Chains A and B, each alone.
Chain A
């Protein structure tokens, strides 16, 4: 089983719909991240969490919200999806200090 699991892997949704992307990890890490990837823009940080009670906005949090349900679970919601939120979304986890991050396989979201 993968260390970081994202569901769904692919999703097509309509403008205005609410959608939730889920992430779970078996690494036992406290830190979790949500990124979106767009061609030419790299990975941009949406939200990050250092523990269950700690949620922080990243570079591009507008239009998104998150929930850290447990140490192992971190979900990303689009309250009212719009077409420019079409992207590849990645969840990641890491330990503290200089620990490297582990990534999920990504969720390809298309908003039509």
Chain B
């Protein structure tokens, strides 16, 4: 069975500092990996995805993520956080094989960026 873990319920960072949100996954075969962001009272917005190829993926709003197959991780990063980055972030995986097509989410990490 596939699964996604976001080990941190909340990440606190000062504005201008680097931001990292962690994600690890378990899936059969090669995964498709995604990051989404949710602002208060809004739906989920797509940030970036890893399908194949370059392990460093760049996405919206200056975010990037690094796929590490040996560590089964897909951590989200931003070099310099903004107060407006404060939101709830979700990692998701879609696997192949028995779980083909099913999109599964982690529990989410609340990011708080302080001025």
Contacts and interface: CB of A to CB of B under 8 A. Distances in A.
B29 interface: no
B104 A104 contact: no
B34 interface: yes
Given A42-B108, A98-B32, A90 B44 contact: yes
B104 A45 contact: yes
Q: Which of B34, B44, B104, B107 has the most CB of A within 10 A?
A: B44
A48 interface: yes
Interface string B84-97: 00000010101000
Interface residues of B, number: 24
A74 B106 CA distance: 24
Contacts of B43: 4, 90, 103-106
Contact of B46 (A35, A58, A100): A100
A52 to B, nearest CB: 15
Interface string B18-50: 000000000000001010100000111110010
A4 B43 CA distance: 10
Given A41-B107, A42-B90, A103-B44, A58 B102 contact: yes
Given A35-B105, A101-B46, A104-B43, 5 more contacts: A41-B107, A48-B102, A90-B44, A97-B51, A98-B49
